[in-house]
Structure 1
Amino acid sequence: MLGRPSVGRRRLIDGIRWRVRTGAPWRDLPPEYGPWQTVYGLFRRWSAMVSGRRC
């Protein structure tokens, strides 16, 4: 398989929870949660879905 190994969905959600709890910038997300861009993308999609907006 090519590319980076995937990060489990649970770790991405934990990354979102860490960011919301600490209020730190997305770029300061610890590496154990995966790339900050991936975690932020999931957060944006979830946030848009909850508010009824399109991505």
Structure 2
Amino acid sequence: RSGSNNRRFIEAILWIVRTGSPWRDLPTVFGNWNTIYKRYRDWVKADVCTRLFEVCSDEPDMEYAMVDATIVKVHRHGQGSKGGLRARL
């Protein structure tokens, strides 16, 4: 079975995984939570998720997995104010 918007369906699944929320809390921008859940269950039963994972992880290109200080910056609130971090009493 194919839905009307596969990208929105995948984004809904990723939202659930990222937030850890129950299906009922899925924002309406993704569509009806029950419809998405039923489609997800169909995909699980048909091993679609497993096959997607296997295809995507067959030969991973680790070039984009490298993280260093040139691309990761501390948010200004995490840097502390003038004079460095101080303990509050």
Do residues 47 (structure 1) and 41 (structure 2) align?
A: no
Larger Rg: 2
Q: Which stretches in structure 1 are left out of the alignment for 5+ residues? A: 1-5
The alpha-carbon deviation at position 7 of structure 1 amounts to 4.7
Larger helix share, 1 or 2:
1
Q: Percent identity?
A: 46
1:15 touches 1:33 (CA, 8 Å); kept in 2?
Answer: yes
What TM-score does the superposition give when structure 1 sets the normalisation length?
0.71
Asked if residue 27 in structure 1 is aligned to residue 47 in structure 2, the reply is: no
Q: Is the 8 A contact 1:13 1:39 kept in 2?
A: no
CA shift, 1:22, in A, is 1.0
Residue from 9, 13, 19 that aligns with 1:16: 13
1:1-55 deviation per Cα after TM superposition (whole angstroms, max 9, x unaligned):
xxxxx7512111110110011110100001111000111011101111118xxxx
Gaps of at least 5 residues in structure 2 are 49-89
* Greater RCO, CA 8 A, separation 6+: 1
| Matched pairs, number | 46
Aligned-partner residue type, residue 12 of structure 1: F
Where does structure 1 differ by over 6 angstroms across 4 or more consecutive aligned residues? none
In 2, distance between residues paired with 1:23 and 1:32? 17
